[in-house]
């Protein structure tokens, strides 16, 4: 049995815009319903595009969660699932308990088939994430510090003092970026919306790819850093890469 998306059109009162905005919402809902009901695909796209323009006009004036839900439904009906995912996630921030919204969000994720990331380039056992690499270095230095310190305590003649002190300095140095990473404010979320987006190991096209294949549209990420027109994004606990800002839409 095919699971279908749950469509709910919300009728909103927009106090900041006044009553002049209500006819726009009514017209948008009417155009959306006509687009869904018609059997003519070309006509449906025209009607849905008109509805989308009106919803987005209202959303720019007042970014309400219910409007984001309507926009997500419209993008889904237009078969633009990555943008539907973006707006469902935006709506979730305002209406996190809406069960229909949660159903649609999970349905879009399933239809985008985002079960795994492309294989990483380079050394396969080494995590792509800068933070993960630093964590490995920190743990290694921390372990070696205590091993060498214990050897120094047991037999001073075979373990020079400089070796445990060296590992202590490396431990402190590697702990700094880890601490700064955790002290950063909550990362912004985003979704890859541009096809053939190649994640790279630095903020420029001259850097080597992080993965063997482009990132799939609909891939969700968190922004860790921005440099010019590039974003360093975290894909999961281990993988991160750089993408052009235009390749993704922030939630």
Q: What is the pLDDT of residue 20?
A: 61
Q: What is the pLDDT of residue 15?
A: 45
Distance CA 235, CA 191 (A): 10
Of the listed ranges 61-75, 169-183, 195-209, 212-226, the least confidently predicted one is 169-183
Q: What is the pLDDT of residue 7?
A: 65
Average pLDDT, the chain: 83
| 8 Å CB contact between 221 and 229 | no
Instruction: Tell me the average pLDDT across 34-39.
Output: 94
Q: Over 90: is that where the pLDDT of 197 sits?
A: yes
Task: Tell me the pLDDT tens digit for each residue of 97-135.
Answer: 999 999 999 999 999 876 555 655 554 434 445 555 666
Instruction: Tell me the average pLDDT across 24-45.
Output: 94
Instruction: Tell me the average pLDDT across 19-31.
Output: 85
- Residues 6 or more apart whose CB falls under 8 angstroms from that of 35 comprise 43, 44, 45, 46, 47, 48, 51, 77
Our CA angle for 86, 92, 93, nearest 5°, is 100
Q: What is the pLDDT of residue 161?
A: 81
Q: What is the pLDDT of residue 116?
A: 53
Instruction: Tell me the average pLDDT across 69-80.
Output: 96
| 8 Å CB contact between 212 and 168 | no
| 8 Å CB contact between 65 and 90 | yes
Q: Over 90: is that where the pLDDT of 31 sits?
A: yes
Give buried/exposed letters for 167-177 (b at 16+ CB in 10 A, else e): bbebbeebbeb
Q: Over 70: is that where the pLDDT of 9 sits?
A: no
- Residues 6 or more apart whose CB falls under 8 angstroms from that of 244 comprise 197, 229, 230, 231
Q: What is the pLDDT of residue 246?
A: 96
Of the two residues 90 and 138, the one the predictor is more confident about is 90
Instruction: Tell me the average pLDDT across 66-74.
Output: 95
- Residues 6 or more apart whose CB falls under 8 angstroms from that of 216 comprise 112, 113, 114, 192
Instruction: Tell me the average pLDDT across 224-233.
Output: 94
| 8 Å CB contact between 203 and 232 | yes
> Which stretches of 166-239 are assigned E, i.e. beta strand?
189-192, 220-227, 230-234
**Helix and strand element counts for the chain (H, E):** 7, 5
Backbone dihedral angles phi then psi of residue 22, each to the nearest 5 degrees: -60, -40
CA 150 to chain centre: 45
- Among 17-21, 32-36, 150-154, 165-169, top mean pLDDT goes to 32-36
Q: Over 50: is that where the pLDDT of 226 sits?
A: yes
Q: What is the pLDDT of residue 218?
A: 93
- Residues 6 or more apart whose CB falls under 8 angstroms from that of 179 comprise none
Instruction: Give the pairing of strands 189-192 and 230-234.
Output: unpaired
Q: What is the pLDDT of residue 142?
A: 84
The full DSSP string for 112-173 is: TT-S-PPPBSS-TTS-S-HHHHHHHHHHHHHHHHHHHHHHHHH-TTTS-THHHHHHHHHHHH
Of the two residues 170 and 42, the one the predictor is more confident about is 42
């Amino acid at each position: 049995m095919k699971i279908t998306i749950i469509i709910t059109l919300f009728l909103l009162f927009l106090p900041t815009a006044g009553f002049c905005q209500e006819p726009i919402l009514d017209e948008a809902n009417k155009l959306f319903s006509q687009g869904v009901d018609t059997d003519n695909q070309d006509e449906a796209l025209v009607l849905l595009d008109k509805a989308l323009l009106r919803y987005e006009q209202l959303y720019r004036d007042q970014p309400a969660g219910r409007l984001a839900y309507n926009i997500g439904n419209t993008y889904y009906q237009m078969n633009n699932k990555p943008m539907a995912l973006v707006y469902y996630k935006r709506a979730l921030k305002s209406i996190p308990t809406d069960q229909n919204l949660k159903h649609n969000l999970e349905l879009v994720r399933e239809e985008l088939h985002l079960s795994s990331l492309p294989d990483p380039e380079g050394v396969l056992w080494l995590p792509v994430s800068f933070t993960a690499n630093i964590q490995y270095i920190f743990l290694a230095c921390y372990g070696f510090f205590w091993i060498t310190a214990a050897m120094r305590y047991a037999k001073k003649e075979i373990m020079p003092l400089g070796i445990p002190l060296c590992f202590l300095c490396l431990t402190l140095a590697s702990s700094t970026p880890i601490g700064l990473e955790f002290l950063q404010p909550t990362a912004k979320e985003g979704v890859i919306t541009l096809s053939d987006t190649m994640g790279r190991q630095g903020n420029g096209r001259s850097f080597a790819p992080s993965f063997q294949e482009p990132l799939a549209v609909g891939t969700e990420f968190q922004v860790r850093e921005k440099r010019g027109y590039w974003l360093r994004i975290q894909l999961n606990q281990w993988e991160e890469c750089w993408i052009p800002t235009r390749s993704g839409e922030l939630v």
